[in-house]
Amino acid sequence: MGCKKSKLDQNNGVLDLKMHQPSRTNPTVYVKDPTSRNAQTTVRSENMHLLCLWTQRAVFIPTEQKDSDKIVLALYPYDGMQPEDLGFKKGERMQVLEEHGEWWKARSLATGKEGYIPSNYVAEADTMETEEWFFKDISRKDAERQLLAPANKPGAYLIRESETSKGSYSLSIRDTDAKGIDAVKHYKIRSLDNGGYYISPKITFPNIESMIKHYHKQPDGLCRKLEKPCDKPKAQKPWDKDAWEISKDSIKMVKKLGAGQFGEVWMAFYNNTTKVAVKTLKPGTMSPEAFMEEANLMKTLQHERLVRLYAVVTKIEPIYIITEFMANGSLLDFLKSQAASKLQLPKLIDFSAQIAEGMAYIEKKNYIHRDLRAANVLVSESLLCKIADFGLARVIEDDQYTAREGAKFPIKWTAPEAINYGSFTIKSDMWSFGVLLYEIITFGKIPYPGMSNGEVMTSVQRGYRMPRPEPCPAELYEIMTSCWKDKPEDRPTFDYMQSVLDDFYTATEGQYQQQP
């Protein structure tokens, strides 16, 4: 919880304007979205003042009215959330009129109607992007994560674009190794001069579709024959771009997921259509003004390893923080669950690598987290980790939390320089990351077992470090202790940590399987 950045870009150069909003069942007050770059369009007219036009989605002023030739196919059905949206069925074809961020303007070729569509719900027609087995813009590592998700079985596969060879493709298949442990094998798909494709030069194919059909019938040199395409979670609806400060009436609380020292967490629906998580903050936890200042910064942090902040409710306490919903809850709770008890060490290392990736992004953006621990990491249905609660610790006004000796202060996760001098940096986050590694490898055990906060402070100051826990490999413990160097500057960067953990098992393996 808690990230911090230069104040220079907090307002993003955007004027605080009111907008005209058509009436709806659940009225929402739309205010400036700090990440909406084109929400304002200035129009100059002779002898007139500047007029600022504000619409719910970006205003488009094309230099020339010209229809696009781009035809897209709906991958999922969409009912439409707003009057200006274009609803469609799965498989429906549409002509794209304007492309802009997450929302495109399109015309249905079936009905002739026009409106806005979520760009991640469609793919260009008559291309591989419409195939269930094709995964666009996915790395080798993420392909492995997707294939090893619980919904998939051995024989699950996907085709992806090669990271190393532009314009080339790779086939990734879920398999089992000699010990019966799930693994992913990768095969390069090579191109012929005449436009064909092959994995083994013994047999070639006119296109990738015919290659897939062939390997569905027999392995023919692959590790196993292809079964089902990798499970592809339904794309999440993009958030209404300028729905930032929203009405409490637009949120319908459905299920209480948990409660903490500063409030509760609920599963809820926004405008009865979008499933979200809502964190409610106890009155007096923080100043609404201070929170909004920090939230404007928090919303600019957008990465696939960070929980996305959608909107806030600050006009009436308790403050609501609306974020994307993560089905498996906090990493701490998940590690203690029955489902986690079956996880092998490689998956625990992968959790660590995913968190390091998210923190590397925060590091790159010159932010800090301030409260990095398993309780503040969330887990999706497909076991992807996302960092949460960045941005809150700095604005909490609870004396028991802000006072370093307070009962709520997370002493066991906090670096000595942060405890002693209040010096929070990305390097103090790295110290916390080392403790988080301990939580992961011990399936959620409390760090420094049997020691009080006071004993931890005194012992760490004298050079004490937690010993290697029983299930922890020596190589991982070495990584852990590198996070706990006395001098902050001697601790590694998150960028380096991500690369080390990503390659923890693959450093000595070949990148691709040999040609069959």
Distance separating alpha carbons of residues 269 and 325, to the nearest angstrom: 10
Residue 395, φ and ψ in degrees, nearest 5: -110, 5
Distance separating alpha carbons of residues 425 and 370, to the nearest angstrom: 8
Known binding residue 279? Answer is: yes
Cβ-contact 156, 227 below 8 angstroms: yes
Distance separating alpha carbons of residues 89 and 94, to the nearest angstrom: 11
Q: Where are the alpha helices (DSSP H) in 308-425?
A: 331-335, 345-364, 399-402, 416-421
**DSSP at 229:** B
The per-residue DSSP string of 71-131 comes to: EEEESS-B--SSTTB--B-TT-EEEEEE--TTEEEEEETTT--EEEEEGGGEEETTSGGGS
Is residue 182 annotated as a catalytic residue, yes or no? Answer: no
Distance separating alpha carbons of residues 472 and 476, to the nearest angstrom: 7
Distance separating alpha carbons of residues 460 and 464, to the nearest angstrom: 5
Residue with tokens 């907008």: 19
The catalytically annotated residue of 240, 371, 429, 502 is: 371
Residues of each annotated binding site for ATP: 279
Residues of each annotated binding site: 279
**Catalytic center residues:** 371
